[in-house]
Amino acid sequence: SQQGEEDPQALSIQEGENATMNCSYKTSINNLQWYRQNSGRGLVHLILIRSNEREKHSGRLRVTLDTSKKSSSLLITASRAADTASYFCANQAGTALIFGKGTTLSVSS
Amino acid sequence: EAGVAQSPRYKIIEKRQSVAFWCNPISGHATLYWYQQILGQGPKLLIQFQNNGVVDDSQLPKDRFSAERLKGVDSTLKIQPAKLEDSAVYLCASSPQHPLDGYTFGSGTRLTVV
């Protein structure tokens, strides 16, 4: 299966803490994107890291990519209750995206 | 800029009935995707259109699912007959010519088959 594996499946932290979630694929990673999904809503694009990049920042988000290990990680710093959502990685396959299974993040105040 | 519009928002049907979902992508977006997201899982690509042509429908269960994109704009996804395992959220997304420009997703249609 081309589907990505995400780890952990669920993560519960306190406000102000950092949250790290990981994503790996069995196939080669091309350009990798991270998406966020609030309960019952559509997905929102967070950040794209290209296959020739190793690290990228956007606000409180930091994404790393290791193409040799076919893996990526998303770090959310200084988390807030509003960050509570599911987070999905998505690997580009042709012109489509193959999503991981997601990490459910719960941030309590 | 208006987002990707989907309707209906929710649908409950009995197994073996038929159902149709509608999607209106962002104006000017050439590529349109339908994804199926089963509860607790990531979205799975069902079909991808480039303008009004099908690029990839390898994951579409063609014995019961069909999709079309008339005139390269709106799209409909149909299930006939529905099975219990079709219960899921059906997400429509669109992107400009190149996926690196990012997808925009609609809010989805939540289908419950009873």
* pLDDT tens-digit readout, B19-65: 999 999 999 898 999 999 999 899 999 999 998 899 999 999 999 99
| Model confidence at B98: pLDDT above 80 | no
Per-residue confidence (pLDDT) for residue A40, from 0 to 100: 75
Single-letter code of the amino acid located at B71 = K
Q: Does A91 touch chain B (CB under 8 A)?
A: no
Q: Work out the average pLDDT over A13-39.
A: 93
Mean pLDDT of A58-75: 96
Q: Shortest Cα distance from B42 to chain A (angstroms)?
A: 4
- Cβ–Cβ of A94/B91 closer than 8 Å? no
pLDDT at A69: 93
DSSP code, position A29? P
Cis peptide preceding B8, ω within 30 of 0: yes
Residue A4 banded pLDDT, cuts 50, 70, 90: confident
> CA–CA separation, B80 vs B94, rounded Å?
24
Cα distance between residue B98 and residue B24, in whole Å: 19
In this model, does residue A1 exceed pLDDT 80? Answer: no
Chain A residues touching residue B43 (CB < 8 angstroms): 43, 88, 99
| pLDDT for B99 beyond 70 | no
Residue from A29, A35, A89, A97 to probe the interface with B (highest B Cβ count within 10 Å): A97
Give the integer Cα–Cα distance in Å for B100 and B110.
Answer: 27
Order of strands, sheet of B65-68, starting from the edge strand that comes earlier in the sequence: B5-7, B19-24, B75-79, B65-68
Q: Which residues of A touch B29 (CB under 8 A)?
A: none
